[in-house]
Amino acid sequence: MPLPAPLTQHIARRPHRIALLQHIAEQGSITRAAKAAGISYKSAWDAIDELNNLAAHPLVERSTGGRGGGGARLSLEGQRVLRLYQRLQALQAQILDEADDTSDLDLLGRLMLRTSARNQLQGKVCAIHREGRYDRVRLALAGGLHLEALITHDSTERLELTQDTIVVALLKAGWIDLLGAGDAPDPASNCLLATVDSVFAEDDGPSEVRLILGNGQTLCAFAEPEWLARQAIVAGVELRAQFHPSQVLLGTPL
């Protein structure tokens, strides 16, 4: 089974994140894998979240029990991706040896765009409805979840969006509003039920909240510490993540 195009591009563009899979396979623990990779525990989970969100199936699974109370392991899909990465390493060495002009490699690097959006969710277009100069694009995510994006009709044509087109929905963490108990959702907005996985408090400013959706995909959002304390938001609490369709950016593979 071929890998999703967004994940294939990610492997080529950010191989150090894929290499983290090797450390997880060897160490059986996110903490130890992060240490072996020379990154923080939080950076390791950020990388894993992005990989899991872009893959057709999660690449890393949490395991329970054992020494230290649990750890992490590669899923069968994760093992397959790791084997692919190892093959790509061999091909990369061959390509670098055969490249006539390093400017060709620089051009490819510019074409593979990075984004500042923390949240990247792979989905499939299941409906497009024209609303004046805009199109409301409905996306089917894994696990039966859906979200909508509101983009111009020109953007729809430029991206060549049609039924079943695979896209990546991009959403900045600061665009997500967290709704606690008693907060009424906006009927015009996307509203996804999520479970709080962890809260990373900052010395100054909003805290970062890591959320897990019902399908296993993750979102990152920001919230003020006072609001989190007032709502008693801790790991395991269910809440809703709300964002307007106009704040969802869509991308397709080159």
165-207 pLDDT, tens digit per residue, is 999 899 999 999 999 988 999 999 999 999 999 999 888 889 9
* Residue 121, in any domain of the structure: no
Q: Which two tokens stand for residue 37?
A: 């990779």
pLDDT in tens, 18-56: 778 888 989 888 889 988 888 888 888 888 888 888 887
Of 111, 127, 142, the position where a domain reaches its end is 111
Domain that holds residue 21: 5-111
* Residue 164, in any domain of the structure: no
Does the pLDDT at position 137 exceed 60? yes
Specify the CATH number for the domain of residue 92. 1.10.10.10
Residues 104 and 200 in one domain: no
* Residue 227, in any domain of the structure: yes
Specify the CATH number for the domain of residue 188. 2.40.50.100
Mean pLDDT of 2-12: 53
Share of the chain above pLDDT 70, in %: 79
Residues 12 and 104 in one domain: yes
* Residue 147, in any domain of the structure: no
Nearest 5 degrees, angle CA 50-CA 115-CA 40?
A: 45
Cβ partners under 8 Å of residue 126, min gap 6: 138, 139, 140, 146, 163, 164
pLDDT in tens, 104-114: 555 554 444 56
Mean pLDDT of the residues in the chain: 83
* Residue 101, in any domain of the structure: yes
Of 111, 141, 162, the position where a domain reaches its end is 111
Of 64, 91, 111, the position where a domain reaches its end is 111
Residues 89 and 179 in one domain: no
Q: How many domains does the chain have?
A: 2
pLDDT in tens, 48-77: 888 888 887 888 887 655 444 457 889 998
Instruction: Give the model's confidence band at 103: pLDDT under 50 very low, under 70 low, under 90 confident, else very high.
Output: low
Residues 183 and 104 in one domain: no
Phi, psi of 217 (to 5 degrees): -70, 160
Q: Which two tokens stand for residue 128?
A: 């497009």
Residues 9 and 106 in one domain: yes
Report pTM. Answer: 0.64
- Beta bridge partners, 134, equal 131, 152
* Residue 159, in any domain of the structure: no
* Residue 32, in any domain of the structure: yes
